[in-house]
Structure 1
């Protein structure tokens, strides 16, 4: 969806023209060696730094729309381009996601590209621990020699990669295919394991496919909305703005241990004891059944397992669950009545559910409620996982980590043959096992099984659970390569080799947002120094590894998008009907699925589409599964030595993840506390003789941190809260994981808090 001023209308598709020119610059030209040495000019892609073949520049005062690169909402940003480079941005008023709105992070998306700590050249560690710049030729030789030597000495299982949810789908596809089909890696995972693995597993088991069913229009169609472990007011503010546009004056129910900003706006807040959510949801489900709110015809036609579900939840009596959860029996009944009587009920969850040791079953308890009340496939309904990272959905479909590329199965000979034929890759190159998940890779380092690691656009030295242990493991590696926009990340400080990558606005591709919408990322600036797009780094690695010909057809992102379309054929995520990047641009994004048969009438897809409108699900029998399980106790509850629950989560609208980007913006830094803080209930603060602003020491069994006290009534007595963005937070968290998804449980551990007396 591009817009231009009248005098520059002919350049409306300039970004597509750039892409077309780039596709003529083929791999042999890009990477041919000259006197055994790669020159900078040959390595750089057309226009990447104004070297090589230069594409036709954008005309002055052009505007073009691209998808924001922060959260999974996928807002459209109108980029104002002058002389071929974006000089400013505003929210896109016609984009169907954000409708002219943007959060502070989106407004500052260009500013962060100008940071002084951008990685601008490859860097190699010195013997004394410092770094020095090296050429791309030297860096790629070092990369190839070290990884090949490790695999020769210790086997293919001795190396791994850790990817991300923050690069375009085409780059994810390239990385996964290159590492696993070309380089022979067995193990690789994405940092989406930290945020979305639970939702993926829950959907796969319940529906038969990882298929979030909703569209953002549902925010405006519901008359009852249930948010479980979700605070969209802060974490996804533009999605919350869609809630505020709802003309039905919806009843809003929030299930959360904290009185969050979203809970403050709710009709009902179930302020439960931490990690009692599964029992509470089972009690609500039992009341829905007992009080006659089951849509029996829908259950009979579209689900299986109802009798087992009903028997299981009948064991969760009101009095027992009220006592364990801290929520009254009357409120459990009230919420069951609201869900049962609602015309269009939508249930939403995010990290408060996903980042839990039993999160998969909690998510499925939410799905069960939607299914048994028939709240699926209609406007304003659904069991709806709100995604975290800008392209976590792309990682789920295309990264070759949670499943074989394109949502195929590594274990299926038919799927492996289809992928091999589509990609013109020998079928024997495709492993029959997806390899280890993130937590097992980290454990593999501990055991000496993983010797070399390639980290792309993620920051595990900050973000991985039990941070001190994670850093020790990174230092145990024989060889660590970090590929990132910035040389200053906590993980880059542990690297042996840093590869400088371009960021949002400096490359092309697609993101997929929470509602399954493919949106375009566009190159509107040059990357600094010698930084390359991740796509071109992967292309260079393929050449140096000796598998360049295998990936000859992976010439540019849009060519890879065409391969992705072929791979998606006949899957639930089928996108064979999309007419390339131009149609995605024109339509303001396109939700999957959009197959050739759907597009047979040569029409653009509707902007808002839901899944399961016909009550049919991806399982062979067309029925969704109702799944229940036993309750398991928290692995670490408060005790005499560590008497306080520590909860973690999103801090402010202006912070993002480990702050590698938001900390670069002077504007955003003014909108959140720079120093770590911890929220304490006034009763607990009084017992500690603590007032607002006092420094406190927080100790867990893993480590300790110092933070400023924030005395608030939004946490309950005996509980505390620290935002995940601060480096200190994961020095405290406990390494425990959901057994079904492998996702870390960040949201609960036991700590001791003491006041630090001023000198």
Structure 2
């Protein structure tokens, strides 16, 4: 699309070339405007963390954008969502004024004063009647970490509540938990440069071409002629482009990873020095005796020969092997152990802390890493723990908060908050920049839960999301491009986002909304230092001192921009000099012993298997690179809507379609034990017989999914449930 556009332009591609607003990709010729000023900003979609150059008119308003050539993440590239990032800002369904449900059940416009009175009166009344555990918030990985931290600190330290979680629980809790347990801290060890330095790249449950297309381009820049191995039940776009597709059964990943370790240990293809930097190796070796290729062949759907060959490939002496995973692993009932099985493989073969190696989680949302460190939900701001007295004292001192305001108990997880609401224990819910009435697993349950809640507040840029429609009070918030702050991407790189236009109507940044709430609640004196996002950044920066995520060496936003983003750690005492860095190069980890832990447990059975009534296994995942989550933003772009099917479709294997006498584009009913939906048939051998695939973005999909969770991370199992299929 870009190449076609540029061929129509005969002049030089200079820095002041901008594209005519709103027409990228539709055959319009680039238009040279009066030389415009520019600012840079990190994209607000996924956690790749691309930097965009925003082109401003003479009034300082963004009129278009181009990817930033020199930024070490995207190197001048952007995916379709990034190119169209400004489109949703002008959507006619923007929330422009607070909306409050009246006695007749209608939401009517009100001013901020009335909105704040309703917010405070209703939540204080619930707290007085039912206690401090009766109200919860659900937040996001989509807002800057300064705003996330303000929300968590305000809610817990100022308003005096306990329970809050972020929708990072839906995408990255598994990786965070796996790293914390294995390494002693939530620490993705890699740099994107490792994509270009590997000899063997193993992608597990990761459709990189679609979900993170810029990272796939980093793979394509690799000059080492790498073997690219995709382990996935479905022949995804990435699997089709790879060197090898390992076509395993759904949720056969953990058994397969144990079998690979079995072969590597059995054949002595291990790294003794790396193993010396681990705990639990002897127990791990004993555990692996039960996971020979023959023992797992049926569970994985792979032959003994296939497993043996793969084991040799991922442990070849002298080769740099990197393991990468995303939602196909994370969104699982045993995702933590699967992630740790890859960590174990990296540790026992010495593939960690070196160029082109690592056990590397690829993050979903733009600021999920920031949420993990600063949301103040199940862990405390700055990578601290609520349970540790010295951590509470440090945070209290750093923020100027009375120690008695900081609870020692952490929050319920996302699913536990919603379960408590279903049981009537939680009476009030504050939803910030996320859409659980669409995205939560087995979403039909939320309609019943809604009846149990006395008051729901939704703070969002749109008043039309499924969650906003269910709200009693809608607070209109500014979007990406309308506020300042920082995101942290998958490789731990902190980057800044910039305000390049005003929010519509009386909508405010989430940061300013939190300031209003603090004043209305009567706790604003606790947050006097939180004057603006950069002031909050400095408070949070100082809290990280002596933590693995120490960023005390970063003076402020200007320095971050000047550095081309900054990977943590960036301590003041010993600031790094390299722009791209990996962790554990010295073999030291963040555990008390300084050694990594080898963690494992037997694979569990599928929470819901197929049977005669529900004979198909349903898989879900990303549909196209132009779709994002619940489509609350991508659906607002005329261009992005042209790049994906408007209505839900389901992939079915040709043999199954023939058996059911289904033709392309036939309408079918997909039914699980929880709900049903309509979809059109797409016949393709991308799925195996007996399996179906639905893109996750359509609101009906999560009526089908199964409420099962990883016991360690509490992350939902979106990826496998039993369904039936019938022609409509």
Following superposition of structure 1 onto structure 2, how do residues 602-641 of structure 1 map, counting pairs within 5 Å?
A: 605-641=577-613
CA distance in 2 between counterparts of 1:203 and 1:699 reads 36
Q: Does 1:692 align with 2:667?
A: no
Q: Which residue of 1 aligns with 2:415?
A: 439
**In the TM superposition, what whole-angstrom CA distance separates every residue of 1:46-79 from its partner, at most 9, and x where no partner exists?**
xxxxxxxxxxxxx971111110000000001000
Q: Which residue of 2 aligns with 1:412?
A: 388
Q: Which residue of 2 aligns with 1:585?
A: 561
> Which secondary structure does the structure 1 equivalent of 2:137 belong to?
strand
CA distance in 2 between counterparts of 1:571 and 1:353 reads 28
Contact 1:122–1:134 (Cα < 8 Å) also in 2: yes
**In the TM superposition, what whole-angstrom CA distance separates every residue of 1:110-139 from its partner, at most 9, and x where no partner exists?**
111000000000001133332110000000
Following superposition of structure 1 onto structure 2, how do residues 97-496 of structure 1 map, counting pairs within 5 Å?
A: 97-300=73-276, 302-341=277-316, 343-496=319-472
**In the TM superposition, what whole-angstrom CA distance separates every residue of 1:521-547 from its partner, at most 9, and x where no partner exists?**
100011000000000000000000001
Contact 1:698–1:705 (Cα < 8 Å) also in 2: yes
> Which secondary structure does the structure 2 equivalent of 1:455 belong to?
strand
Contact 1:288–1:336 (Cα < 8 Å) also in 2: yes
Q: Which residue of 2 aligns with 1:574?
A: 550
- Which sections of structure 2, spanning at least 5 residues, go unmatched? 1-13, 17-33
Quote how far apart the aligned CAs of 1:291 are.
Answer: 1.9
Q: Which residue of 1 aligns with 2:713?
A: 741
CA distance in 2 between counterparts of 1:79 and 1:420 reads 39
Q: How many residues align?
A: 696
CA distance in 2 between counterparts of 1:629 and 1:263 reads 28
Contact 1:67–1:77 (Cα < 8 Å) also in 2: yes
Q: Which residue of 2 aligns with 1:655?
A: 627
Following superposition of structure 1 onto structure 2, how do residues 651-730 of structure 1 map, counting pairs within 5 Å?
A: 651-730=623-702
> Which secondary structure does the structure 1 equivalent of 2:133 belong to?
helix
Contact 1:60–1:84 (Cα < 8 Å) also in 2: no
CA distance in 1 between counterparts of 2:275 and 2:145 reads 36
CA distance in 2 between counterparts of 1:102 and 1:688 reads 41
Contact 1:230–1:349 (Cα < 8 Å) also in 2: yes
CA distance in 2 between counterparts of 1:297 and 1:537 reads 53
CA distance in 2 between counterparts of 1:109 and 1:465 reads 27
Quote how far apart the aligned CAs of 1:311 are.
Answer: 1.0
Quote how far apart the aligned CAs of 1:474 are.
Answer: 2.3
**In the TM superposition, what whole-angstrom CA distance separates every residue of 1:410-465 from its partner, at most 9, and x where no partner exists?**
01010000000000000000000112110110000111100000000000000000
Structure 1 range deviating more: 457-466 or 257-266: 257-266
Contact 2:652–2:691 (Cα < 8 Å) also in 1: yes
**In the TM superposition, what whole-angstrom CA distance separates every residue of 1:714-753 from its partner, at most 9, and x where no partner exists?**
1000000001100110010011100100000000100000
Mark the CA change 1:531 to 1:306 in structure 2 (over 3 Å): closer, same or farther.
Answer: same
> Which secondary structure does the structure 1 equivalent of 2:314 belong to?
helix
Aligned partner of 1:645 among 617, 638, 645: 617
Contact 2:378–2:412 (Cα < 8 Å) also in 1: no
> Which secondary structure does the structure 2 equivalent of 1:701 belong to?
coil
> Which secondary structure does the structure 2 equivalent of 1:465 belong to?
coil
CA distance in 2 between counterparts of 1:551 and 1:298 reads 46
**In the TM superposition, what whole-angstrom CA distance separates every residue of 1:238-297 from its partner, at most 9, and x where no partner exists?**
000000000011001111000111111222211111111111110011011112210012
Quote how far apart the aligned CAs of 1:6 are.
Answer: 10
- Which sections of structure 1, spanning at least 5 residues, go unmatched? 8-58
Q: Which residue of 2 aligns with 1:40?
A: none
Contact 1:158–1:451 (Cα < 8 Å) also in 2: yes
CA distance in 1 between counterparts of 2:35 and 2:550 reads 38
Quote how far apart the aligned CAs of 1:323 are.
Answer: 1.7
CA distance in 1 between counterparts of 2:241 and 2:579 reads 29
Structure 1 stretches of 4+ with a deviation exceeding 6 A read: none
Structure 1 range deviating more: 543-552 or 269-278: 269-278
> Which secondary structure does the structure 1 equivalent of 2:536 belong to?
helix
Contact 1:594–1:605 (Cα < 8 Å) also in 2: no
Contact 2:263–2:292 (Cα < 8 Å) also in 1: no
Query: Normalization by structure 2: what TM-score?
Result: 0.95
Q: Which residue of 1 aligns with 2:726?
A: 754
Contact 1:590–1:605 (Cα < 8 Å) also in 2: no
Mark the CA change 1:475 to 1:605 in structure 2 (over 3 Å): closer, same or farther.
Answer: farther
RMSD across aligned C-alpha pairs, in angstroms?
1.2
Q: Which residue of 2 aligns with 1:514?
A: 490
**In the TM superposition, what whole-angstrom CA distance separates every residue of 1:52-110 from its partner, at most 9, and x where no partner exists?**
xxxxxxx9711111100000000010000112111110010011100000000000001
CA distance in 2 between counterparts of 1:684 and 1:605 reads 57
Structure 1 range deviating more: 60-69 or 85-94: 60-69
CA distance in 2 between counterparts of 1:427 and 1:273 reads 51
CA distance in 2 between counterparts of 1:334 and 1:128 reads 67
